[in-house]
Amino acid sequence: MNWEDKVRRVEPYVAGEQPGGEGVIKLNTNECPYPPAPGVIRALERIRADYGRLRLYPDMHAQKLVNALADYYHVRPSQIFVGVGSDDVLALAFLTFFNGKEPILFPDITYSFYDVWAELFRIPYRTCPLDENFRIRKEDYFQANGGIVLPNPNAPTGVEETVRALEEIVAASPDSVVIIDEAYVDFGAASVLPLVERYRNLMVVQTFSKSRAMAGARIGFAIADEKIISYLKDVKFSFNSYTMNLPAIEMGTAAVLDDAYFRETVGKIIRTREWTKGEFARLGFRFTDSKSNFLFAAHERIPAGELFAALKENNIYVRHWERPRIDNYLRITIGTDREMGRLVSFLEKYIKERGND
């Protein structure tokens, strides 16, 4: 017997690289290319002016942030749970709600943290294949299950599912919790939030990392029936009560209060995305009709692995997975107009100079 036989061994999630340095165009982890709302700096300045507050534990309920979100989304504060990024919220939700005997369900092509958490917590799971257009087949989810998790829009495809189809899935599994991961919903997809009042088994998860330009602050949240939130809090307070730090709570609150800046930033990203789609079509790419802040694209002639390497060589970082069904696709985050302009001109030149095989 050896101590290593007692180790909880896991295969960790692999995040995109965080390259540093001058001249890097970073389009590989779906961050926002614009800074957070100006109110966020003012919040930091207030913390600086009164930094002695850091002696104290933060409010473990992050009530200020919860109240701001409750006002913004027109729900009761008791329907909101906040955490250290939506990864924290999702992991706690897996631990809390996916404790049945039946396997939980999620798509074969999806956010690659779901199977990592399932393995970590020893949750049985079954993946349901997307169709040839990367759409969810809703009937796949009309079977006995221990829970369901679906991102909408899906990652890394950017494909949006209709609220009606998601509602059918939620309605068909009243005895399981259904999590809709809306990490990208602000970029033009319809949210299932209005369904929370009607379905007590529905949990909606969102994040400040993408549309609110605050991946570095680590803020995510869930909105659901009070009972769901209360079970989630029981597990959280059995694990680590003080996860969200004071600056994050203050900065997150400031971000929620500045709706005009939020809309402006998201609007810019959507316009840049649609411009990029036009250019990609011209260059011979096929891609999904992404409703997120990234494109999921394959070139008609040139393998994705080759383009990925050529781009990286030129300091343009995108994402590529050596996985069945998606190994010929690149996932490209929408950056500023200037960054996307440089990406497009690089690709145009590369494709022209390379010629045909």
Ligand X SMILES: *Cc1c(COP(=O)(O)O)cnc(C)c1O
| Near ligand X by CB under 6 A: residue from 160, 161, 167, 181 | 181
Q: Per-residue contact track with ligand X, 297 to 336, x per CB under 6 A?
A: ----------------------------------------
Q: What are phi and psi of 83, to 5 degrees?
A: -150, 180
If one counts every other C-beta atom within 10 angstroms of the C-beta of residue 322, the result is: 8
Whether the CB-CB separation of 127 and 106 falls below 8 Å is answered with: yes
Torsion over CA: 125, 131, 135, 140 (sign) = negative
Q: Residue 209 interacts with ligand X (CB under 6 A)?
A: yes
Instruction: Select the span of 50-58, 207-215, 229-237, 304-312 touching ligand X (CB under 6 A).
Output: 207-215
Q: Residue 207 interacts with ligand X (CB under 6 A)?
A: yes
Closest approach, Cβ 175 to ligand X, in A, equals 25
Instruction: Select the span of 45-53, 80-88, 119-127, 222-230 touching ligand X (CB under 6 A).
Output: 80-88
Local structure of residue 283 (DSSP, 8 states): T
Closest approach, Cβ 181 to ligand X, in A, equals 5
Q: Per-residue contact track with ligand X, 107 to 146, x per CB under 6 A?
A: ----x-----------------------------------
Cβ-based nearer residue to ligand X, 103 or 153? 153
If one counts every other C-beta atom within 10 angstroms of the C-beta of residue 308, the result is: 19
Q: Which of residues 211-270 bind ligand X (CB under 6 A)?
A: 215, 220
Closest approach, Cβ 156 to ligand X, in A, equals 8
If one counts every other C-beta atom within 10 angstroms of the C-beta of residue 3, the result is: 6
Nearest alpha-carbon partner for 87 in 250, 212, 209:
209
Q: Residue 161 interacts with ligand X (CB under 6 A)?
A: no
Specify the amino acid at residue 109. Answer: I
Count CA atoms within 13 Å of residue 340 on its CB side.
23
Q: Distance between CA 305 and CA 297 in Å, rounded? A: 12
Instruction: Select the span of 79-87, 121-129, 234-242, 348-356 touching ligand X (CB under 6 A).
Output: 79-87
Q: Distance between CA 108 and CA 11 in Å, rounded? A: 17
Closest approach, Cβ 185 to ligand X, in A, equals 10
Whether the CB-CB separation of 295 and 287 falls below 8 Å is answered with: yes
Local structure of residue 222 (DSSP, 8 states): E
| Near ligand X by CB under 6 A: residue from 116, 150, 155, 266 | 155
Closest approach, Cβ 251 to ligand X, in A, equals 14
Closest approach, Cβ 215 to ligand X, in A, equals 5
Instruction: Select the span of 81-89, 158-166, 270-278, 309-317 touching ligand X (CB under 6 A).
Output: 81-89
| Near ligand X by CB under 6 A: residue from 28, 79, 86, 211 | 86
Closest approach, Cβ 61 to ligand X, in A, equals 19
Closest approach, Cβ 323 to ligand X, in A, equals 16
Work out the angle between the directed axes of helices 246-257 and 63-73 (0-180°, nearest 10): 20
Backbone region of residue 224 per phi and psi (left: phi > 0; alpha: psi in -120 to 50; beta: other values): beta
Q: What are phi and psi of 51, to 5 degrees?
A: -70, -15
Nearest alpha-carbon partner for 209 in 16, 10, 12:
16
Q: Which chain residues interact with ligand X by CB under 6 A?
A: 30, 85-87, 111, 151, 155, 181, 183, 207, 209, 215, 220
